[in-house]
Amino acid sequence: MTWPNPARSVALNRLDLRSPLVLDTRELGRRPGASEVVSRSVPAPADLGIEVIRVPAGSDVELRLLLESVVEGVLVSGDLDVAAVGECARCLEPLERELRMDLQELYAYPGHGDEDTRTVVDDGLIDLEPALRDAVVLALPLAPLCRPDCPGLCSVCGMQLADDPDHTHEQVDARWAALAALQENDRTTDGRTIGDRTSTTENEEN
């Protein structure tokens, strides 16, 4: 299921209140000190997250925000909850994380604020999506683990070490066997070169 994202597609023109991430600040009436609580569940936009862990598109994002009118614009602050899914960075098993993160963003009126401030557009609407993306990406772990002490995968066969912590491999034995075979060859060569058959035989028996 994909959600339309009118806010983004028309960002250069006007925000669309039909987008769940576009908030209406007109009730605040540009009166500094006025505030409004916004508590709602919105569908996550597409591509929210990073490669190893992300918030599925359309899943619930629970917003608890305070919109405050300040002289230069509208200050949005609060927190949000998401359920992220991903893979353990060590064992690659699927994992799910409930995450709560803070969000704070100043939306300035046109003509106020810095170059990089996301402005309140002309009709009093604000687009929460860029601030939401920043908050989520900052809060997501870069290397999520299924559990803190996940032992990961066996570097030889790739199996889950958690399933068999004592698991060992023939490979070590195979290397010793190869070394032993080399030594055996050396001894044979030495024996022929030196011609000391007695000592060679003693070595082989040891």
Q: Which is nearer to Zn ion, 170 or 205 (CB)?
A: 170
Binding track over 117-146 against Zn ion, x by CB under 5 A:
-----------------------------x
Interface residue with Zn ion among 1, 18, 157, 170 (CB under 5 A) is 157
Q: Which is nearer to Zn ion, 78 or 152 (CB)?
A: 152
Separation of alpha carbons 110 and 34, rounded Å: 19
Q: Which of 52, 55, 56 is nearest to 90 (CA)?
A: 52
Number of residues that bind Zn ion (CB under 5 A): 8
Chain position carrying tokens 């996940």: 150
Cα Dmax for the chain = 106
| Binding window for Zn ion (CB under 5 A); candidates: 51-59, 103-111, 126-134, 157-165 | 157-165
Q: Which is nearer to Zn ion, 164 or 202 (CB)?
A: 164
Q: Which is nearer to Zn ion, 72 or 87 (CB)?
A: 87
Which residue blocks in 52-196 are alpha helix, DSSP H? 129-139, 170-194
Q: Is the separation of the CB atoms in 69 and 33 below 8 Å? A: yes
Q: Which is nearer to Zn ion, 46 or 89 (CB)?
A: 89
Task: Tell whether residue 55 is a contact of Zn ion (CB under 5 A).
Answer: no
Separation of alpha carbons 5 and 111, rounded Å: 27
Q: Which is nearer to Zn ion, 90 or 118 (CB)?
A: 90
The encoded tokens of residue 144 equal 């999520």
For 153, list phi and psi in degrees, rounded to 5. -105, 150
For 70, list phi and psi in degrees, rounded to 5. -120, 170
Which residue blocks in the chain are alpha helix, DSSP H? 6-9, 129-139, 170-194, 197-205
Task: Tell whether residue 182 is a contact of Zn ion (CB under 5 A).
Answer: no
Binding track over 76-115 against Zn ion, x by CB under 5 A:
------------x-xx------------------------
For 120, list phi and psi in degrees, rounded to 5. -75, 125
Considering the complex, what minimum distance in angstroms separates the CB of residue 38 from Zn ion?
37
Task: Tell whether residue 181 is a contact of Zn ion (CB under 5 A).
Answer: no
Give contact residues for Zn ion (rule: CB under 5 A). 88, 90-91, 146, 150, 154, 156-157
